[in-house]
Structure 1
């Protein structure tokens, strides 16, 4: 874990919170775009949301779990509001205009609430699992374990909250299928793309995002505490 000054910690908090909000809003747009392959139902959101877990795991590794939780709590309300706006303005992936915001849409409000709940529960579980597993010497154990458990929690919470007995008849009938396939896609994306990129991005965050030429040099010694 890096030893950071207060200004550097605030800067990192702002940057990473904005990343979380952007990924969540993008995922809420992409989750409206379902696709089927070989009879398996999924949405394009499966390829976007794992970015949040990558950012969270890197945050825990660099800053520790307390700052990671601060990022989650700083992100969740803006993400909830932006998710609703994105879902309403881009209904079913089609831009319908900002005038749509003048009428409250309970269906998309439910999706935004589901996204909020899934994000909060999934990320807190991710932090807990990662913190427990980071003591192992192999670098991949903690991010792999946290992604497996965190994605399971957030995917189930999202699809159950958003589509169980929903007014969308298709999603109400197939939400379990979407949950299973979405979880499978997320794990595949994590294993193929995000886990190998973990070490590279860790170095990138230390060198670029966290660098502050006006501050004293950062300690690059990590602890397993």
Structure 2
């Protein structure tokens, strides 16, 4: 059990919020870059978004369910704005310049809105499932089930809102296939690579956050952190 001072707790929150925003913004941009994998249509966002579930589970472990929900709600507006600005200024890997922001981009706007809705649904489900199951003796059940259900809700909410009747003909025609392939890739990354090292990874990240934020012994201890 780690004990955080109030200063450490604030710094940990800042780092976690920043990490949430970074992964969301990167994923919203990368999802606009489709490619074929073994003949199936997918996007590069499938490889970045699993990190948000790891970040969410870390947040629950450090601060508990209620604080994790507050963080999810706190990051959405800045993530929405940053995602839109980055995607409009750098369409499909190119640089359009600041002038691109002068006109509303419906395609990117739908992606940002879809991300907002899907992230809230997926992460709140992930938080609820992980918090209820993490006390079981079988440690792997909580991260496995929260990843399975959270990714499913997030993936299909996002793709249906963003690309159903999209102005992009390719994404409009192929989004169901892309959603399924993205979901399988996310599960593969999460369950094959993250899950075997899950306990070590979360414990290491917890210790790193405690160390990097520094200890202020003059302030009262306020937050417990389970390793």
TM over 0.5: yes
Partner of 2:148: 148
Partner of 2:121: 121
Residues in 2 aligned to 1:95 and 1:8: alpha-carbon distance in whole angstroms = 39
Comparing both chains, which one has the higher relative contact order based on Cα–Cα distances under 8 Å and sequence gaps of 6 or more?
A: 2
1:214 equivalent among 199, 216, 222: 216
8 Å CA contact 1:56–1:123 kept in 2: the answer is: yes
1:103-152: per-residue Cα shift (whole Å, max 9, x none)?
11111111111111111111001001101111211221111110000000
8 Å CA contact 1:118–1:158 kept in 2: the answer is: yes
Mark the CA change 1:200 to 1:218 in structure 2 (over 3 Å): closer, same or farther: farther
- Paired residues in the alignment total 223
Unaligned runs of 5+ in 2: none
C-alpha displacement of 1:39: 2.4
8 Å CA contact 1:30–1:93 kept in 2: the answer is: no
Mark the CA change 1:2 to 1:120 in structure 2 (over 3 Å): closer, same or farther: farther
Q: If the length of structure 2 is used for normalisation, what is the TM-score?
A: 0.91
8 Å CA contact 2:89–2:97 kept in 1: the answer is: yes
8 Å CA contact 2:6–2:221 kept in 1: the answer is: no
C-alpha displacement of 1:222: 4.1
Mark the CA change 1:166 to 1:60 in structure 2 (over 3 Å): closer, same or farther: same
Unaligned runs of 5+ in 1: none
Partner of 1:72: 72
Q: State yes or no: 1:50 paired with 2:50.
A: yes
Residues in 2 aligned to 1:221 and 1:210: alpha-carbon distance in whole angstroms = 9
Residues in 1 aligned to 2:168 and 2:225: alpha-carbon distance in whole angstroms = 52
Partner of 1:29: 29
8 Å CA contact 1:2–1:63 kept in 2: the answer is: no
Q: CA RMSD in A?
A: 2.1
C-alpha displacement of 1:220: 7.2
